[in-house]
């Protein structure tokens, strides 16, 4: 086996080979932590081999699929890593989906095995007849009836190819029906290259505060293991628990979504918690407001990076907020080897300063949407020289310094009376109103204007706010064509697992609570 330093210098290598090298060189170094459980690299690699051997016993072959539907656990991580070792494709399912949606995902993935915890077995047992379900609890290493092959078992060797599928991530995002995003081994290894310059290495202690089915977790945990660092897993996010773990485990790195940062910063123990061990941290998964970026950089030790990209891949932009506080209104510049174009409505590239749809190209792009060639084709754009770009669905522009400025989601743009209205502009106006913690704006049908903007606001804790007053104050800051016809106060904004606001749920809420446009009201 090659040395870990040599493996990490390669343009492509297998994640399992990197973990194996660390197991040989530093077998007693801690790889995974969950609660009071710890697993060193020697144990991790041995158990990965036994999982891979057990999967081969079950008839799983390279590039066939297994699915996992469970809460975060060490056994979950073992199955994922063991499957990757022998070339199987992993479909980690979002446990918060409905049982019917989960059953659809299992069928679509054509999974050969379905790994479950107790809650998922109960939810899916009447809906999923095939494939065979395996309880993650059966991966006990000290019992004769363990699902695992005996200690010392070695799988048949598999040479991992960069173009092979690593995982299928099912995400409905904010648009409806789940799509299976196929990410390759090359893409997963390429994330290491994307993270260059963030001070990550064998001494890294990364705190994964999102579930193992989340791309946010995978993009922090897997590169940390490849580098030989330690990954601290949380079975469920809680701001207070995060702070306690970060202090106790001397965490050096984390990738969080904006709503997690907000809740951590708002926690009464934040200022009393020792976070001096942090070397860097990143925000990903959803847009981070300039105000929140500034607050994170000012109050939280270590470098802070805002990361813009898609699960589908394409181009990734990063902004070192610590170094460029003057650019917090942007998401930074494309990374080396990443390229962005801004397109007009006809798909023609625009010059810097003009806004249009953002498309991106890099060495990290999905193979496509699983079994959905039409949607894959719709997600792509070809440059004049024939290169493949991924459409982001976002609208933005590149400023004079080469920094990308996001304006809005293309599908969230509201066309009212023939004028284009960007919901982000209205959300910014709402967020500056006294007593408002966060806001979202959607377009709803209007007989007079075609569409009209409606705002939803969440009050700060302990604040009583008037929807009518908020609408009047926000509209006073907006142009005549931008003004909201309605404002609704709600206790929380609906979000997906990555923290993105689910505007389709707000549209459904508005339809259910429908009354003549022009009122200001609250929804409990």
pLDDT exceeds cutoff 50 at 519 = no
The residues of the chain that CATH labels 3.40.50.980 are 4-211
CATH number of the domain at 309-409, out of 2.30.38.10, 3.40.50.300, 1.10.3720.10, 2.40.10.170?
Answer: 2.30.38.10
- Fold category of 4-211 in CATH: Rossmann fold (3.40.50)
Instruction: Give the predicted TM-score (pTM) of the model.
Output: 0.85
Token output for 208 = 């994964």
HSE, CB side, 13 Å, CA atoms: give it for residue 234.
Answer: 24
H/E stretch holding 120 = helix 118-124
- Percent of the chain residues past pLDDT 90, beyond the cut: 79
Structure-token pair, residue 285? 């998964």
What are the residues whose beta carbons fall under 8 Å from the beta carbon of 483, sequence distance 6 or more?
Answer: 453, 475
Residues of the chain with CATH 2.30.38.10: 309-409
From 157, 158, 167, select the one nearest 191 (Cα to Cα).
167
Which bin fits 371, alpha (ψ -120 to 50), beta or left (φ > 0)?
Answer: left
The predicted-structure confidence for 250-299, as pLDDT tens digits, reads as follows 999 999 988 899 999 999 999 999 999 999 999 998 888 899 999 999 99
ω into 518 cis (within 30 of 0): no
Mean pLDDT of 57-68: 98
| Displacement of CA 214 from its chain's centroid (Å) | 6
Dihedral (CA of 413, 415, 418, 424) sign: negative
Helix axes 15-25, 41-57, angle to 10 degrees: 140
CA distance 517 to 454: 9
All CATH 3.30.300.30 domain ranges in the chain, comma separated: 418-522
The angle at the Cα of 376, spanning 372 to 381, to the nearest 5 degrees, equals 165
Alpha-carbon distance 392 to 368, whole Å?
14
Cα separation of 135 and 116, whole Å?
5
Check residue 516 and give its pLDDT: 44
Mean per-residue pLDDT, 204-216: 95
418-522 CATH, one of 3.10.580.10, 3.40.50.10540, 3.30.300.30, 3.50.50.60: 3.30.300.30
pLDDT at 144: 73
Number of residues that this document lists for the chain: 524
Per-residue pLDDT for 134 more than 90?
yes
Across the range 366-370, mean pLDDT stands at 96
Arithmetic mean of pLDDT over the chain: 92
- Residue 478 DSSP class: S
């Amino acid at each position: 086996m090659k040395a870990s330093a040599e493996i990490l210098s390669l343009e492509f290598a297998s994640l399992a080979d990197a973990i194996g090298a660390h197991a040989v060189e530093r077998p007693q170094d801690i790889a995974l932590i969950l609660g009071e459980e710890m697993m060193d690299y020697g144990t991790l690699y041995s158990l990965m081999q036994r999982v891979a051997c057990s999967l081969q016993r079950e008839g799983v072959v390279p590039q066939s699929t297994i699915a996992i539907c469970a809460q975060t656990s060490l056994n979950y991580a073992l199955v994922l890593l063991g499957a990757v070792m022998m070339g199987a494709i992993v479909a980690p399912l979002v446990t918060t989906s409905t049982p019917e949606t989960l059953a659809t995902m299992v069928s679509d993935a054509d999974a050969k095995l379905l790994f479950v915890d107790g809650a998922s077995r109960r939810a899916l047992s009447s809906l999923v007849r095939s494939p065979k379900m395996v309880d993650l609890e059966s991966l006990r290493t000290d019992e004769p009836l363990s699902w695992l092959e005996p200690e010392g078992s070695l799988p048949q060797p598999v040479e991992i190819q960069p173009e092979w599928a690593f995982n299928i991530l099912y995400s409905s995002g904010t648009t409806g029906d789940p799509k299976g995003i196929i990410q390759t081994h090359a893409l997963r290894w390429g994330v290491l290259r994307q993270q260059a310059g963030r001070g990550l290495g064998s001494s890294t202690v990364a705190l994964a505060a999102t579930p193992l089915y989340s791309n946010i977790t995978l993009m922090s945990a897997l590169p940390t293991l490849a580098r030989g660092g330690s990954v601290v897993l949380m079975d469920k996010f809680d701001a207070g628990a995060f702070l306690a773990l970060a202090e106790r485990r001397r965490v050096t790195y984390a990738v969080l979504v904006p709503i997690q940062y907000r809740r951590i910063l708002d926690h009464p123990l934040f200022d009393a918690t020792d976070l001096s061990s942090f070397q860097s941290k990143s925000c990903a998964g959803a847009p981070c407001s300039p105000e929140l970026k500034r607050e994170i950089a000012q109050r939280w030790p270590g470098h802070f990076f805002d990361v813009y990209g898609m699960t589908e891949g394409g181009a990734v932009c990063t902004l070192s907020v610590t170094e460029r506080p003057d650019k917090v209104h942007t998401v930074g510049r494309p990374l080396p080897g990443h390229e962005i174009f801004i397109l007009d409505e006809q798909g023609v590239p625009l010059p810097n300063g003009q806004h249009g749809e953002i498309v991106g190209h890099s060495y990290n792009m999905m193979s496509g949407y699983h079994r959905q060639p039409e949607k894959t084709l719709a997600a792509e754009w070809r440059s004049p020289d024939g290169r493949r770009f991924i459409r982001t669905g976002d609208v933005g522009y590149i400023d004079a310094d080469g920094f990308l400025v996001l304006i809005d989601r293309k599908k969230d743009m509201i066309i009212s009376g023939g004028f284009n209205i960007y919901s982000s502009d209205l959300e910014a106006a709402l967020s500056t109103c006294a007593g408002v913690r966060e806001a979202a704006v959607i377009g709803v049908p209007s007989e007079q204007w075609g569409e009209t903007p409606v705002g939803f606001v969440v009050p700060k804790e302990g604040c009583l706010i008037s929807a009518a007053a908020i609408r009047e104050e926000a509209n006073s800051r907006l142009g005549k064509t931008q003004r909201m016809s309605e404002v609704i106060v709600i206790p929380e904004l609906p979000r997906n697992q990555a923290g993105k606001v689910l505007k389709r749920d707000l549209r459904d809420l508005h339809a259910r609570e429908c009354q003549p446009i022009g009122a200001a009201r609250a929804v409990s």
